[in-house]
Structure 1
């Protein structure tokens, strides 16, 4: 099928280019109402924003967009349970997942209770020894430590057996989660999850930190009703918006509606750098305390917070985000930074080994509907990241399995592409007896498999996903927002489109095309990056780079020294040495001289 943008149906990456669709009537209404350029109004409309929603999209506020906490199933009961515990001076623990969302969620609760004069204890299961989420062992340990109430955050919605064990020993549990649920809620005093089958809040795109942020509003309301604020001011939860934003951005949730407001307003709060843990991490990362962006959350702070759960101590991130002790903060931030450096090295080695497996055509077919690679000793804490990198490289679902020959078992993690429900296929593999454990959602899945069953699992997934993958790959297209020139691709153009920020799923970063540009001074940098300049026919130029592209078809096209190319990519700020320019991040190229 011919592409509708510059007629490109097959780029260097084999993709169709098409204009991101938008209704002309909506574009015109937004353009007139906001006095915007047509391309900018079109970009807003193409992100599913109606004329009635444009005010909230461009100028989000909590006052207009905050949902009624009572619209979440069990939210009022959760608030009652926590205020009951506060009034009774009960021993409350927070059991959190080991990633950024879990750590941010735990820190939100800890900071609210601290503002009310109480300290909470944090328990984060060890990724390798205990696995994901609550377990009988975890509840036994907290009960032995004197816990009266446990709040699970970013986990627990599927922990049926563990919660039964907690109930058997009269340990009260409140679950705050956001993961998909296949059935009724487990046994607990309250299960708050916008993805419960019976939840009517309409907030299923929230990360756990977003759900906890709404819980804080419910706690303030419940405490006010019980006259707890007659002699003290209620905690101002807006001061912790930065933690809600960390969860939303780092958990890669859809940045639409209220969730986008949390991310947008949270980044503004983060820019004040009042959270001592985030500030300490910025210091060890040697990053300036400038205006916070999704880059800071997702690529500077997030990986360091995650490093503890991936290859170190699982509770480091939650402790950092909830601590106010200067000495402890320096110690935690330094340890997380060091662990992140180790994580990068481990991840790099596994990525290279996994890519080598895929490229060895004698063993694997890179054209298969799903790629499954397995290696001895691959660290289970990073295989999900590796799967994501390979998915981006080959644009098809990828499952990476780390094998432990001592026990004959492999831990796997998978990442998928739009249109291919990997989690459902993994669940079916479990139902067929091919897995020891497995589950997930459309875009990601985790599994445990016997080492000798890996070939059978690969064949099963290939058969189950063949048709879905075929359709998804056929429909794979790069959606374009703006046609520009090298001369027009400047700081003014970049900044005009920043009204769309923050970017993420549901609100993608604008994609630009520079048509008929000549590649100059192309060279390969360390790690396979290709640097060059893109020039118009009149000589106007823009600096450009293609990340890790030297061995790809994009890199080969840039380095070939041929004629003019159409180049698609992103505009990024280039403030090195005070220049305040832009750099074009190349995503794909098309050679007009070749058949499309």
Structure 2
């Protein structure tokens, strides 16, 4: 692990913020590191308001999208809500269809089959629209690159409105409206919305025509917060406001489908991290193992007993997903060892019978072992399909762009992408990808990095700091849980390995003039020797709480330790 201590903030700004907020160095530093420099900015950060959300009509083409949908209402047209099969896509479809059904009965949903149709807008979906007299498709979390497919739909008399957040190509589809804050000609003030976030802006604009305000739309924010967490978009700006209020809905009055999932995992107060690791994987499991329609059905069901039945079905898919994920990860790790592939700048593996629905998860697992930009391929029809995942700081999308001559189709983000190619191009692509990454990746990015907010003493860690840190949430990219470093620590002599195969480390640390604090280090069991016999060591950690038998106590969640 590379430990990187963030630079100290400007002294004048630090003193000014401490004075304005009446806080100590630790809290003022954390705020300045997040770009918060004034009392007003701190107020907005700690007390998000729905009034902080931007006017949806600032988004390019929003007026055209609203006009076309209003015309569809007036003319009793059939509207097809189309979305991808992941959490962002299915949440978006549930959001948009739920809202549209408050305005018209002529609404249906369509999720493409991951295996038959693949990612994004499909010709089968357009044929379905024409065959069933749908004259308008609203595509969510996909479509910004679907130039040929939108043209095909136009020939068949089917209009498109696209709500996407992926990077557009050089040309845009000839849709009625393309809502995408990443469009070069779009001046919308925040360009990091997820697909569901863009869909929410559209329903916000539509609702304004009925003289409804943002406060009338809070019931939809559980879906938006779930998509924000699952899609790993920055939890800053507008996303932070949407996530903050969405988490309030999830913890007080979620839709029956989300409540049914929460009941299965037996959680009470959820954080957005819980959403990412418990709610989202279950929603995702439907599209990975069976069909994304199961997720939409669950998320739109208003009868709680039916929602529980659908959640039980999805739980079974999730169990299957976990088993496939475990088996394929083992096979992929063995393949890397056998082929000595860990010696390059990339990890690229392929087996034709690997389950297409879990190769993205497997790619992330491989990065945990071999910290490299990673691609996991499987057979998909007569082509090969892959999921790409990257390491922190490296843009895998750009690397794929450099190999475009070998690829049939690709799309995605800086850290996650998908692609297809012809089997005969696999070896040439693999070499081109290795070359592209080796020429552009700084060598230090091949070692995992822990970014440390600041160095503090153990006596500065107390329940007051924990209370303030809790108010920094929801956490995520752009606003990560604060990470601290403390030197000259000692274990009190009772440090031990715990958990299956002694994988984890549990110690109680102290420092001169400080209380003792219990620490848990997941996956750090092999570092016990660094703390035995009262050796001095330094640790990187986040401040956490341990809940046990109704008691709550402060604890440190260790990220790494060094002598």
Give TM-score scaled by structure 2 length: 0.92
Report if aligned partners of 2:541, 2:560 keep a CA contact under 8 Å in 1: yes
Q: Distance in 1 between matches of 2:274 and 2:62?
A: 31
Aligned length: 559
Does 1:380 find its partner at 2:351?
Answer: no
1:309 Cα deviation from its structure 2 partner: 0.9
Q: Distance in 2 between matches of 1:182 and 1:116?
A: 34
Q: Distance in 2 between matches of 1:294 and 1:94?
A: 27
Report if aligned partners of 1:487, 1:536 keep a CA contact under 8 Å in 2: no
2:310 equivalent in structure 1: 332
1:80-126 C-alpha deviation (Å, 9 max, x unpaired): 11122222222111001111111221222222223335362111001
1:7 equivalent in structure 2: none
1:365-415 C-alpha deviation (Å, 9 max, x unpaired): 5352222222342212111122123224443311122246xx664321111
Does 1:578 find its partner at 2:550?
Answer: yes
Partner of residue 99 from structure 2, selected from 100, 109, 112 = 112
1:241-264 C-alpha deviation (Å, 9 max, x unpaired): 222211212111111111111111
Does 1:390 find its partner at 2:366?
Answer: yes
1:546 equivalent in structure 2: 521
1:274-329 C-alpha deviation (Å, 9 max, x unpaired): 311111111122223x2x31123211211111110111221122221122123431
Report if aligned partners of 2:371, 2:446 keep a CA contact under 8 Å in 1: no
- Trace 1:585-596 onto structure 2 (pairs within 5 A): 585-591=557-563
Does 1:187 find its partner at 2:174?
Answer: yes
Report if aligned partners of 2:78, 2:106 keep a CA contact under 8 Å in 1: no
2:244 equivalent in structure 1: 264
- Trace 1:477-516 onto structure 2 (pairs within 5 A): 477-484=449-456, 489-516=461-488
Q: 1:325 to 1:125 in 2, by over 3 A?
A: same
2:293 equivalent in structure 1: 315
Does 1:568 find its partner at 2:540?
Answer: yes
Does 1:523 find its partner at 2:497?
Answer: yes
2:429 equivalent in structure 1: 457
Q: 1:355 to 1:32 in 2, by over 3 A?
A: farther
Report if aligned partners of 1:126, 1:313 keep a CA contact under 8 Å in 2: yes
Q: Distance in 1 between matches of 2:124 and 2:483?
A: 49
1:425 equivalent in structure 2: 399
Partner of residue 351 from structure 1, selected from 329, 350, 358 = 329
Q: Secondary structure at the match of 1:158?
A: coil
Deviates most, 437-446 or 170-179: 437-446
1:327-370 C-alpha deviation (Å, 9 max, x unpaired): 43122111111111211121122222223333x2x623535222
Q: Secondary structure at the match of 1:514?
A: strand
Q: 1:144 to 1:409 in 2, by over 3 A?
A: closer
1:463 Cα deviation from its structure 2 partner: 1.3
Report if aligned partners of 1:419, 1:468 keep a CA contact under 8 Å in 2: no
1:571 Cα deviation from its structure 2 partner: 2.5
Partner of residue 300 from structure 1, selected from 263, 278, 288 = 278
1:436 equivalent in structure 2: 408
1:49 Cα deviation from its structure 2 partner: 2.4
1:533-586 C-alpha deviation (Å, 9 max, x unpaired): 132156954333333455xxx647568778222111222321121121234322
Q: 1:481 to 1:470 in 2, by over 3 A?
A: closer
Report if aligned partners of 1:177, 1:208 keep a CA contact under 8 Å in 2: yes
Q: Distance in 2 between matches of 1:270 and 1:571?
A: 24
1:426 Cα deviation from its structure 2 partner: 1.3
Q: Distance in 1 between matches of 2:455 and 2:392?
A: 25
Deviates most, 53-62 or 497-506: 53-62
How big is the alpha-carbon RMSD for the aligned residues of Structure 1 and Structure 2?
2.6
Q: Secondary structure at the match of 1:201?
A: coil
Q: Distance in 2 between matches of 1:222 and 1:578?
A: 49
Deviates most, 153-162 or 482-491: 482-491
Does 1:42 find its partner at 2:29?
Answer: yes
1:77 Cα deviation from its structure 2 partner: 1.0
Does 1:58 find its partner at 2:46?
Answer: yes
Partner of residue 219 from structure 2, selected from 239, 247, 254 = 239
1:156 Cα deviation from its structure 2 partner: 0.9
Q: 1:388 to 1:29 in 2, by over 3 A?
A: farther
Q: Secondary structure at the match of 1:188?
A: coil
1:53-80 C-alpha deviation (Å, 9 max, x unpaired): 22221211121x2212121111111111
Q: 1:491 to 1:458 in 2, by over 3 A?
A: farther
Q: Distance in 1 between matches of 2:501 and 2:225?
A: 31
Q: Distance in 2 between matches of 1:235 and 1:489?
A: 38
Give TM-score scaled by structure 1 length: 0.87
